[in-house]
Structure 1
């Protein structure tokens, strides 16, 4: 069976391994894909390979292991993959996990080597081949595959995980194209949701769940899955930051906040949020809040440029939100006071009652990408060309918050886009999905006037 991996990933994966090799001269490096996890009894959760493994190989198969054996100043790379039972082997019929009759034909060792252009051996050879490093301080991505951990009991994860995530901060052109593709799928999924909104508004059904399923269908049709649990909150549910239950009705006159992203077959994900009036028209209060958030996001995106602080987008967006909250009489202190970085200053941080969260995080093969990178390269560092991050300010007014005007209670608005850092202007990968208030309404009308197509 032909290997499902992207045929053009091999040279990029090889360069990534070379960069990692330079950081671990003389040390064995072992990165497993992971194993199937039981959901119940003899059923398993859908498998997703560890992000570091796929980034270094382009492979997504369960049980596979990447080994980089030290050879002088460099490493010899070998990928170990499971050989599935084929005709002539009794397990071909009897093994629900490793029999081709049960799971479908799978690529052979030779297929994998040809597609990924990396030396590949059967997984059965792994234990023997790791023997020379059993008692060494190997760099191992532990906690992913218990069998691998047992073969290298002195293996250490921390330095390896940090190094990989440091390297993953800068995306190569192949990765940026995968993220662009994820955003394109996501745009079509959002359009599907807008198209089906009228079918659930005002009906006594779990409309949020229906819309979640609508987006999931597009993600599965054109990609691998959703990149994270979709947030689909209407009305007061939009004010809950991580509203994942999605079991509410969609009532007339409310806003729908949808935070969703499609994951490609190469496992790169988008992360996009749009807020829209379910009836296709903004109320004055909704529009007031939406315009403030849109202005904040515009200010934040403008700060996404090489050499800027990672937190520059957050500071710019938060300042705009604080200005509006103060002008509306909600924030009792000035933006200068509320946005002061000194947490001990009286009044500092008061805006957070309504803004709740940070403005940005890295994005890539994980939705919250590069989480193990050193803080001086991420949160406390400066942006470099090739970084990809979200810009997602929001305002949330709880339904029982008597410190805000009654007409704002129960309104939640977030706008999120995926942005590439360049040496010039920021590149917004999700720009095809409108975010200005008039553009949102026009997009909804266009979507609802056209039939759904696969």
Structure 2
């Protein structure tokens, strides 16, 4: 990797730019700085063709979402940052992903710019939306060639303000102008806190200053007062909650993106099965499974929506096994929990459990078929008007009944299902469903009465993912069960009169899974 240097000067930076920590490598940099070089590199460039793109498909959807949050916060300034690059090591950063609330309200996905900020400025009738971002450096600037974070020599061409405005269908200004917003902040200004901690600190300081000035202007200077901004800042938390709850029901654009993500994920599973002979011959076969799927995610979309779980043999009993360093042994099952995130950031979340050699043993099939039955039972209750937690309850009835039938439970299935008991949950401690969309665990900040106890509505999209996991050292189960883990997970869209399994075309039953593997061998 080439040497890097960030030439930003804190003295020249705007307040919001200075909030970003600079990781300079000037002590080892060989970046030229001579007058002759700077004069030469700034000249001889062809004129830019700053063609304005048409508004992207999601632009009107993002505008409608902004209108919905605007209606909830009339008279208040709302600040939704994209977030910044996050350090991986020394001067190396993780790949940038904008905060989901920012992407949801702007339509900017995998091509979004680090450090961008959406501001909804209150008006008499609603809000004016403005996007602030650090515009590209002119070729006469040293940033053009020396700044490894934004310089086009380092990261490629960047859009102009006019291009972003046309693309997103939104008013756009340079990041330096955001200082005007900072200067106007009052106590009613709200921010999505978690997306940009440095910016949040600036806003907290501005709110404290505003409150102090207001107190002094009210002749309160002789009276002691306390000004604190709680780290949770309750009004900010309510904004995050409301933005989360807006995403519970998906619009038509979101649903189409989810279909694309599911279909790309299906291709990834097919790739994994086709590569099983290679994966099963390597000491770290799980890594090969992960790599094969992740290749498809990069080809078809942005990346994976979360770390791929490639859990073979006993690793399948570890719910979030992402170390993926074990062998893929013929005769074992491999549990693959994976999803492609498309460029709009919407991600699938699908699990299939496969017999590595193509055929389930009798015990494996018995466990698999029980999980399949639980998944189908949960799907059967999905309809508008049902309560979200009823989906989980339906799956748990099957899990309790099956484990009781096998003589594993110390009580009957009926007793196990009583609120004060729950012995069957030893073998499935996780929930059956979670909302899905621009986050793999979407809408996570929604209130319980909108989520777990919420009424299911058309346009909601969530997983159904029951499982059974018998740990290798679990003495409560028969020896032949130990080390077997099975999960089946599908992505479910609620329709006007029921539900659609978006991933139903990815084989689910034990017989269909065997036929699927055989067709690719």
TM-score of the two chains, using structure 1 as the length reference = 0.94
Question: Which among 177, 199, 217 is matched to residue 148 of structure 1?
Answer: 199
CA contact (8 A) 2:387 2:456 kept: yes
Cα deviations by residue, 1:297-348 (Å, 9 ceiling, x for unpaired):
00011112111110111111110111111111111222221112x22xxxx1
Equivalent residue number for residue 318 of structure 2: 240
**1:50 paired to 2:123:** no
Equivalent residue number for residue 296 of structure 2: 218
**1:358 paired to 2:431:** yes
Task: Give the Å deviation of 1:432.
Answer: 1.6
Larger radius of gyration: 2
Equivalent residue number for residue 36 of structure 2: none
Change (3 A) 1:172 1:93: same
CA distance in 1, matches of 2:179, 2:383: 47
Change (3 A) 1:267 1:2: farther
Structure 1 residues 310-325: aligned runs within 5 Å:
310-325=388-403
CA distance in 1, matches of 2:52, 2:468: 46
Question: Which among 367, 374, 377 is matched to residue 296 of structure 1?
Answer: 374
**1:95 paired to 2:147:** yes
Question: Which among 401, 407, 419 is matched to residue 474 of structure 2?
Answer: 401
CA contact (8 A) 1:273 1:414 kept: yes
Equivalent residue number for residue 387 of structure 1: 460
CA contact (8 A) 1:5 1:266 kept: no
Question: Which among 222, 238, 246 is matched to residue 159 of structure 1?
Answer: 238
RMSD: 1.5
Change (3 A) 1:102 1:70: same
Runs (5+) with no aligned partner, structure 1: 449-454
TM-score of the two chains, using structure 2 as the length reference = 0.82
Task: Give the Å deviation of 1:6.
Answer: 7.8
3-state SS of paired residue (1:53): helix
CA contact (8 A) 1:86 1:99 kept: no
3-state SS of paired residue (1:30): strand
Equivalent residue number for residue 228 of structure 1: 306
CA contact (8 A) 2:134 2:176 kept: yes
Task: Give the Å deviation of 1:4.
Answer: 9.5
CA distance in 1, matches of 2:414, 2:161: 62
Where relative contact order (Cα < 8 A, 6+ residues apart) is larger, the structure is 1
CA distance in 2, matches of 1:6, 1:288: 53
Change (3 A) 1:398 1:242: same
Equivalent residue number for residue 336 of structure 2: 258
3-state SS of paired residue (1:376): coil
Equivalent residue number for residue 445 of structure 1: 518
Moved more, 144-153 or 314-323: 144-153
Runs (5+) with no aligned partner, structure 2: 1-49, 208-232
3-state SS of paired residue (1:27): coil
Task: Give the Å deviation of 1:137.
Answer: 2.2
Task: Give the Å deviation of 1:204.
Answer: 4.6
CA distance in 1, matches of 2:518, 2:259: 25
3-state SS of paired residue (1:149): helix
Task: Give the Å deviation of 1:362.
Answer: 0.5
**1:273 paired to 2:348:** no
CA distance in 1, matches of 2:519, 2:140: 57
Equivalent residue number for residue 179 of structure 1: 258
CA contact (8 A) 1:78 1:121 kept: yes
Question: Which among 249, 255, 276 is matched to residue 197 of structure 1?
Answer: 276
CA distance in 1, matches of 2:65, 2:463: 24
3-state SS of paired residue (1:290): helix
CA distance in 2, matches of 1:3, 1:442: 50
